[in-house]
Structure 1
Amino acid sequence: MLTLIKQATVFAPRILGVCDVLIAGGRIVQIDNKIDIQGSQLSLEVVDAQGRYLVPGYVDSLVHTTGGGGEGGFNTRTPELDFFDAVRGGVTTLVGALGTDASTRSLGDLFGKAKALTNDGLSCYMYTGSYELPIKTLTGNLRNDIMFIDPVIGVGELAIADHRSSQPTANELARIAADARVGGLLSGKSGIVMIHVGDSSRALDLLFQVQRDFDVKLSQFYPTHINRSTSLLDHGIEFTKGGGTIDFTASTTEHILKMGELRASHALALALEKGAPDHSLTISSDAQGSLPHFDEHGNLDGLDIGSIASIHDEWVRAVVDHNVSIPNALAAATRNPARVLGLSHKGGIAVGKDADLNLLEPSSFTIDSVMCRGKWLMRSEKIVAKTAFHYTRR
């Protein structure tokens, strides 16, 4: 089927103005001021999108697709991601990760969930490894995981500056980065190293040490949770000016904000004001991850669950509350993560890219419709996608 979206205001994420967008074979094949198709023998769906914003589907670089948590005992393990939550949140591409718990959670389960979400209609990838060292892998070798296992695009989220980490040394981290890079080079993938950054005052010091002491560039690392504090944000801005990309976590709670964390939207605005390159900033949800509250002694005193809808909420809040331009705010949820993840066919509206699209109501930015790889998953705020467990009674 051909799909022709008519007269939408297109943010690619840069603004293209009012355009028609033609989709075939799951990809965007034409963008023009006006597209007319006459005499076609193919089935054609025409969508009147006048007065709507058409934006890329969101690219979420950190989702605990099989659940996370567990810091408060087995009963605090969080549930796995619901496919329909991702659709409602406008996320069409996501990367699954293990976190603190790589004992009761497994890479095999993560692989199965990535395949399931992709089969159901999204585009799901994964990181090998977890918080801990030595690195856990599927094949027994980090480089081979990236090279031979299709959904694996990098390693992470490896923890530093956190009391829950394995306290890696610069030598260990340099070796991991080198193996991931070579695996990426040989397979045409990013080979990125996603780094969980805790609240220790050491912040990103270990990453800068690796850059100084070894032939490893900052761009090989992708640190997340950089909005934990203003001091960590300042380290992050320095990191971007050295060629790296930093990630802000959209999921949060009022309790965590009172402890000094910045909203992702606020951190994005501050980073842009302080001169961070606009292409080096991303927002991820950390969905299904636990949002633990620790007291001053490091004891757990509360727990919440990250939401995949938070990406949409935070880039919109950046526009509405912090006067960030729509293209810059939207890029942090689309183009920029797609770039650092090596997914050149994702994160934008351009000829040849996957037709991953969201239609938004412009006054409220409400997500109206969601398309992934040319197929509608939600129309007029109603889910139209079905999974293997979705049955329609006749």
Structure 2
Amino acid sequence: MFLLLKGGEVYTPKPIGKMDILTCNEKIIKIAENINPPDLPDVEVVDLSGYIIVPGFIDQHVHIAGGGGEGGPATRTPEINLTDLTRAGITTVVGLLGADGITRSMSALLAKARALEEEGLTAYIYTGAYELPTRTLTNSVRSDLVIIDKVLGTGEIAISDHRSAQPTMEDLTKLAAEARVGGLLGNKPGIVHLHVGDGVRGLTPIIDIVKKTEIPVTQFIPTHVNRIGHLFSQALEFLKMGGRIDLTSDIKPDENSKTALTPLNAVKKIIENNLPIENVTMSSDSNGSIPVFDENKKLIKVMVGSTLTLYRDLKEIIVKGILPLEQAIKIITENVAKILFLYPNKGYIKEDSDADFVILDNNLNISSVIARGKFMIKFNEIINKGMFEK
């Protein structure tokens, strides 16, 4: 019931020095320079001297119930395992559907989120898939947001992509309005989480909506914006307008996209342009397929996205000196939590917040992961596995 973490260097993400943290029933109940173990049974005391404690990571774009399918039924990826997430330091995850809203269903996505909760994580979902009209649980994006606790917004809706439903400005405006009102009624963020392809239109459809309607710029979260140069240039303009953008880990230049930006180079350009890093997040797009198309949009190969790329690319930003730890870590903790209305329970270390932590060693490698007050990984040993991993 009680877990006492002793002597770790705590980043809330703000550095507050060496502290003890006492948790009980999934919550942080006390943070102080020295906490004596309570005189109660079942108190676990763990010495974290020499280690760094940061908030648990939040990945807002994971195909938890499987994804893919662009190369036919054999290319459908399987459901994610619990340890695929915990080994990456992810304690809160948002699941979603992608290109395949036919053989994948919203009910299966919701069930998988609930399964991950039973296994110890915190899980939410977006309602929808690439296409418009999009997939829902109650035949309405608005009612999904109001009625279903796990639904935070709609996504991933595809734009500027040959696999999208080629939505018009009117289509996207109506969807954003539905999500906005559903969010207001359900006390949810009601965001429209947008898959943005490498098409020439880029972010133009949503920029036009913001300029020509009453929908606020914060209603949209475009992701994959570092996938190609012209799209990232628009993303910088979107930030200037007060928007928020989501980078995707594991993106890098290759023969099919020579102007793609790694997360490190993307963050570097954001800083060079004096744009607010607090409006920037990063997600992994993991467990979905990574299809590679040639110049004629013919499928060449299919790979699977990994959760491990999320912190790997974040760590590179720190190690290369682009941002210090306390600022960089916000990109996958505090910034995401604020966008998703989960702050300060998630993405932040304070009394009364959820007891989600990632413990880093002196080389900034993940050593331990605690979700809802329980060790998932303890000093590199997996403590908890999913139902079918044992």
Q: TM-score range by the shorter chain?
A: over 0.9
Please give the alpha-carbon distance, in whole angstroms, between the structure 1 residues aligned to 2:79 and 2:258: 27
SS at match of 1:288: coil
Structure 1 residue 60 displacement after superposition: 0.2
Q: Please say if residues 226 and 251 of structure 2, whose CA atoms lie closer than 8 Å, have aligned partners that are also in contact.
A: no
1:151 is aligned to: 150
C-alpha spacing 1:376/1:256, structure 2 compared with 1 (3 Å): farther
Please give the alpha-carbon distance, in whole angstroms, between the structure 2 residues aligned to 1:86 and 1:311: 10
Please give the alpha-carbon distance, in whole angstroms, between the structure 2 residues aligned to 1:42 and 1:244: 49
Q: Does 2:365 correspond to 1:362?
A: no
Q: Please say if residues 265 and 322 of structure 1, whose CA atoms lie closer than 8 Å, have aligned partners that are also in contact.
A: no
Please give the alpha-carbon distance, in whole angstroms, between the structure 2 residues aligned to 1:300 and 1:207: 28
Q: Which amino acid aligns with 1:181?
A: R
Structure 1 residue 253 displacement after superposition: 6.5
RMSD after superposition? 1.5
Q: What does 1:1-394 correspond to in 2, within 5 Å?
A: 1-37=1-37, 40-252=39-251, 255=254, 259-344=258-343, 345-363=345-363, 365-389=364-388
C-alpha spacing 1:56/1:257, structure 2 compared with 1 (3 Å): farther
Percent identity of equivalent pairs: 41
Please give the alpha-carbon distance, in whole angstroms, between the structure 2 residues aligned to 1:149 and 1:170: 27
Structure 1 residue 369 displacement after superposition: 0.8
The number of residue pairs the alignment matches comes to 389
C-alpha spacing 1:361/1:256, structure 2 compared with 1 (3 Å): farther
Please give the alpha-carbon distance, in whole angstroms, between the structure 1 residues aligned to 2:376 and 2:318: 26
Please give the alpha-carbon distance, in whole angstroms, between the structure 2 residues aligned to 1:302 and 1:257: 12
Q: Please say if residues 253 and 262 of structure 2, whose CA atoms lie closer than 8 Å, have aligned partners that are also in contact.
A: no
Structure 1 residue 198 displacement after superposition: 0.5
Which segments of 5 or more consecutive residues in structure 1 lack a partner in the other structure?
none
Please give the alpha-carbon distance, in whole angstroms, between the structure 1 residues aligned to 2:109 and 2:128: 11
Which segments of 5 or more consecutive residues in structure 2 lack a partner in the other structure?
none
Structure 1 residue 390 displacement after superposition: 5.5
**Deviation sequence 1:260-313 (CA, Å, 0-9, x none):** 321122212221221220110111000011111111111111221110111110
Q: Please say if residues 252 and 291 of structure 1, whose CA atoms lie closer than 8 Å, have aligned partners that are also in contact.
A: no
Q: Please say if residues 100 and 130 of structure 1, whose CA atoms lie closer than 8 Å, have aligned partners that are also in contact.
A: yes
Please give the alpha-carbon distance, in whole angstroms, between the structure 1 residues aligned to 2:114 and 2:28: 24
C-alpha spacing 1:139/1:121, structure 2 compared with 1 (3 Å): same
Structure 1 residue 42 displacement after superposition: 4.2
Q: Which amino acid aligns with 2:306?
A: S
Q: Please say if residues 224 and 246 of structure 1, whose CA atoms lie closer than 8 Å, have aligned partners that are also in contact.
A: yes
Q: Which amino acid aligns with 2:149?
A: D
Structure 1 residue 322 displacement after superposition: 4.7
Q: Please say if residues 256 and 293 of structure 1, whose CA atoms lie closer than 8 Å, have aligned partners that are also in contact.
A: no
C-alpha spacing 1:96/1:143, structure 2 compared with 1 (3 Å): same
